[in-house]
Amino acid sequence: MTARVLIVAGSDSGGGAGIQADIKTVTMLGGHAMTAITAITAQNTLGVEAVHAIPTEMVTQQMRSVAEDIGVDAVKIGMLGGADNAMAVAEELISGVYGESFVFDPVMIATSGAVLADDRTIAAMEVLAELSTVVTPNLPELAALCGRVNLADDAIEGEAVAYAQKVNAAVLVKGGHGAGETITDRLVTEHGTIALWEAPRIDTRSTHGTGCTLASAIAAGLAQGMPLEPAVARARDFVRLSLLDAPGLGQGHGPMGQQAVRNDGLFTGPALNQITLPASDYAASVAFYKQMGLTQIVDSPDNGYARFEAINGVTLSIHVGDGAAGGATVYLESGALDAWVAYLARRGVRFDQMPADEDWGWREARLTDPAGNRLCLYQAGEYRRYPPWRI
C-alpha cells in the first residue's frame, strides 16, 4: 500500500520550500502527499515578504478531513503560522487517528534569515516536540529551542541531548549553518549521539527548502516502515542529490531539484542501474554509444574504461581488458547494501566478495549466478550520478 504522508506546513509562493517542497519530496520517494496548509506566504528566492496565517479551525479541519477518509501513516509538521495553530495541531495529533510517526521541523528562521515564528509560537513548539518521533532543528533553531542565542561547537551535542531528554524525542541536529567545508548532521537521543553523518559542503546558492525536504523525506521513510536511522540516511542522500540537481532559478537562494532526483540508491531493493560490457576497440565503442544517443560521463582510455548515461539516469559501461576484465557484469543498486547482503547470505546465497568500500566511492559486494555470469551489488548514493571522476 502506498505510504500516506500528511504535511502540516505553510505554502511557499516561490515553490522552493514549504508545502511545495514537501509534496515534491514525498512524491519522488514513492509516497502519497496530503496537506494541511497553516499559512500562505508571499516569498521568492530573495526572502519572505508577507505571511498570512490560515484560521486555526481550517488547519485542523484539513487534517481531520484527510485522516478520516484516506488515512495517515506519518505526519510532517513544518511552519505553523502562530502559537494557536501549534497548540491546535498538537491537540489534533493526540486524537490517535494520525498514527505514531511524527516528524517535527521547528521552522523559525528561513534560509534567507527571515524570522517565521514569534516567542509564543516557539514556546508552543515544545508541546509538539513531546509528541514527535524526531525533531529536526538547524543550529540556530536548536539554540532557540534551548533558550540560547547561539551554540558553540562543543556545546551542540550536550544541548541536543538535554533537549531530547526534555521532550522525550530523537533530535536530528542539521549542520548546514555551521562553519567549515564539512557538514555534520547528528542524530541524538536522551542517551547521546546514535548516528553521525559527515559530508563535504555543496557549493550552491540553491538551498531554499533544504529543511523542509529533509523532514518530509524522513516522514516518507517512516511511513514506508523504515526505522528512523535508515530513514534519515536516505533523506540526507535525497537532499544532497536535490542540491546537486538544482535548476539554478532566481536571484537569491533558489529552489532545489527534487523533481530531477531519480533512483540513485535511495531505495532498499535491487534496482538494475548499470551494466559493463566487454570491448576490444576503445575508440570504436565510445563512438558507437555516443552515436546511439548516450552521454559519455567517464573517459579513461588508459584503463580501457568509459561510462555512458541514458536520459533516465541509468548507466552503461565498456571495458577493454584481459580475461579477468572481460565479460559482462550486471550492477544491482541498493540504498541498504549491507542489510540486503546479510538477508541473502542468511538464505544461502554465496558471495565472492562481501560488502567493501572501493576507491571510487562505491560500496560493493560481488557474486556469480548459476550460469557463471558476474553480478555486483552496490551502494553509491550521490556518488552514482556525481562521483569525483565524472566528466
**Residue whose grid cell is 529533509:** 214
368 classed as catalytic: no
Catalytic hit among 174, 213, 257, 376 = 174
**Strand-pair category, 305-309 with 295-300:** antiparallel
212 classed as catalytic: yes
What b/e sequence results for 296-334 when a residue is b if at least 16 CB atoms lie within 10 Å of its CB, and e otherwise?
ebbeeeeebbbbbbeeeebbbbbbbeeeeeeeebebbbb
Write the CB contacts of 255 (distance below 8 Å, at least 6 apart in sequence). 14, 15, 16, 17, 21, 45, 206, 208, 209, 246, 247, 249
Instruction: Indicate the burial class of 221 (C-beta count within 10 angstroms; 0-12, 13-18, 19 or more).
Output: buried
209 classed as catalytic: yes
- Please check whether residue 139 is in contact with residue 174, taking contact to mean a CB–CB distance below 8 angstroms: yes
204 classed as catalytic: no
**Residue whose grid cell is 563512438:** 287
Kind plus residue range of the DSSP H or E element containing 315: strand 315-320
184 classed as catalytic: no
Catalytic hit among 16, 31, 211, 257 = 211
Residue 318: all three cell numbers together: 565498456
Q: Look up residue 166 and give its amino acid.
A: K
174 classed as catalytic: yes
Residue 46: all three cell numbers together: 530573495
Catalytic hit among 10, 78, 209, 221 = 209
1 CB neighbour count, 10 Å cutoff: 7
Catalytic hit among 210, 268, 276, 315 = 210
Catalytic site positions: 174, 207, 209-212
